[in-house]
């Protein structure tokens, strides 16, 4: 029996979070939710993560870009797939996200097929 894989969904918009949680759970992922960057970093101290879906623009001291950069600095998260899902899809943000170490950059509204494609590509496990 394969252990459940764990995804962390980081977004200040509760509906966007719920959408991703529903999608991932339906395909057998265990999902943790964080409403801002600091909460995401707190979770990262507690749990082994196999995937992060990350909003960029969030209130609080740590936004998405900073959270991604801080996660990447830790050796245990050097290869962690971090997929940005943002409602600010400007080219400049894409470049910043890639520089911060994010693995993929998707815009909201998120195309679900594209999301699964990226999850499969980066984790080898998208589900159906």
Partner 1 sequence: MKSDFLADMSHEIRTPLNAILGFSEMLLAEGADPLTPRQREDLTTIFHKGQHLLALVNDLLDLARIEAGQVALQRQTVPVRELLIRTLDAFTPRLNERGVAVRVAVEPSALAVSADPRRFEQIVINLVGNAVKHTRTGSLTLRAQPEENFVRLAVEDTGPGIHPDDLPHIFNKFYQARRQAEGMARGTGLGLAITRQLVELHGGRIRVESELGRGSRFEFTLPAAREDGL
Tokens 């959270």 found at: 67
Return the number of the residue (16 or 103) whose C-beta is nearest partner 1.
Answer: 16
Report the distance separating Cα 117 and Cα 64, nearest Å: 22
Return the number of the residue (86 or 103) whose C-beta is nearest partner 1.
Answer: 86
From candidates 98, 108, 123, 125, binder to partner 1 by CB under 8 A: 108
Residue 32 CA: distances (Å) to CA of 29, 52, 118, 122: 10, 9, 19, 19
Q: What are phi and psi of 107, to 5 degrees?
A: -100, 150
Contact, 36 vs 62, CB < 8 A? yes
From candidates 42, 74, 90, 95, binder to partner 1 by CB under 8 A: 90
CB of 15 to partner 1, least distance (A): 4
Return the number of the residue (18 or 74) whose C-beta is nearest partner 1.
Answer: 18
For residue 51, give the nearest of 70, 75, 32 by alpha carbon. 32
Taking residues 48 to 87 in sequence order and writing x for each that binds partner 1 by CB under 8 A, - otherwise, the string is ---------x-----------------------------x
Contact, 5 vs 25, CB < 8 A? no
Q: Is 15 in the site for partner 1 (CB under 8 A)?
A: yes
Contacting positions for partner 1 (CB under 8 A)? 13, 15-16, 18-19, 22-23, 26, 57, 87-90, 107-110, 112
């Amino acid at each position: 029996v394969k252990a459940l894989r764990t995804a962390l969904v980081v977004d200040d918009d509760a509906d966007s979070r719920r959408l991703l949680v529903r999608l991932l759970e339906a395909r057998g992922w265990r999902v943790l939710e964080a409403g801002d960057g600091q909460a995401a970093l707190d979770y990262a101290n507690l749990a082994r993560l196999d995937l992060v879906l990350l909003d960029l623009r969030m209130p609080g001291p740590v936004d998405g870009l900073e959270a991604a950069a801080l996660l990447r600095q830790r050796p245990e998260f050097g290869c962690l797939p971090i997929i940005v899902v943002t409602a600010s899809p400007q080219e400049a943000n894409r470049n910043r996200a890639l520089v911060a170490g994010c693995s993929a950059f998707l815009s909201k509204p998120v195309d679900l097929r594209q999301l699964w494609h990226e999850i499969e590509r980066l984790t080898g496990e998208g589900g159906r």
